[in-house]
Amino acid sequence: MSTLPPAPPLPPRVDLRSRILAGEVTIGAFVNLGSLAGAELTARAGFDWVIVDLEHGMGSEADLHAQLLAVQGTPTAALVRVASAERLRVGRALDMGADGLMIPRLESVAEVAETLTWMRFPPDGIRGVALPNRGGGYGEATHPDLHQRNARLTGVFQVESMTAVEASDALAAIDGVDVLFVGPADLSHSMGIPGRFDEPSFVAALDRVVAACRSAGKSAGILLKDASVLPPALAQGFTFVGVGSDSAFLAGGARAAVALARATIA
């Protein structure tokens, strides 16, 4: 009885982490509609990365596999914001093949360090080894390959409170924390200045995160309302920048179409 030869391995995914650590500016978007088509259309637009949002988005882990397939059929890196920092949620997203993770709601070095152990295979962490799943190339990965997978995994950790801002120097210094990503809305609310992004204290908090990342050779990230406000964010030192979401792009395009149509027939 003949034995079938192994399937040829697919080309490696884009190495987003090396670009981030080299200080390159990367531009991305959130995918929050829970839609395969929405994820694919966003990725095909040419972003460096998209983040499938399982914390605030409309999709669930049941929708994640299809969205990862849609994004990873393009050169765009597919990151996942997990619903919460739990070992099984982290492991499930990685086992489905995510190129990296965004972790919300962590504030201390101990919390971040523990979460990183769930993201990395031994000896760097305690991530469960399950090579036959998609994250292991359905068996194409070998045990000696796992250190390379650790090295390519992008780790984005959110800064959503002043506690996290004050810990930003220590957080940015941790190996595996590639991006400290400010959530402007949550941070402004935690500071008691909801939505007042021009307040000097808010700007100072952003500056502190940027300085921590620069000192550690990491990337400071932020979500903007759209690309029109990108220049000041870049001038401030942010290099991992989200410029919208699939839902915002759909809503904006629909509104623009209606406005143009009504202006034409008025």
**Where exactly are the structural domains of the chain?**
16-265
How much is the pLDDT for 156? 98
Q: Which of 56, 65, 143, 147 is catalytic?
A: 56
Range name among 20-34, 99-113, 121-135 with the lowest pLDDT average:
121-135
pLDDT at residue 145 in the model: 86
Contact 135, 95 (CB under 8 A): yes
Neighbouring-strand partners of residue 219:
179
Average pLDDT over residues 86-109: 96
For residues 2-25, give the mean pLDDT. 80
pLDDT at 9: 62
- pTM score > 0.85 for this model? yes
Q: How confident is the model at residue 27 (pLDDT cuts 50, 70, 90)?
A: very high
Class of domain 16-265: alpha beta
pLDDT bucket at 10, cuts 50 / 70 / 90: low
Query: Shortest CA distance to 187 belongs to which of 170, 201, 169, 171?
Result: 201
Q: Taking a C-beta distance cutoff of 8 angstroms, is the pair 184, 161 a contact?
A: no
> Is residue 143 among the annotated active site residues?
no
Quickly list H helices, 33-174. Answer: 36-44, 61-71, 87-95, 109-119, 146-152, 162-166, 168-172
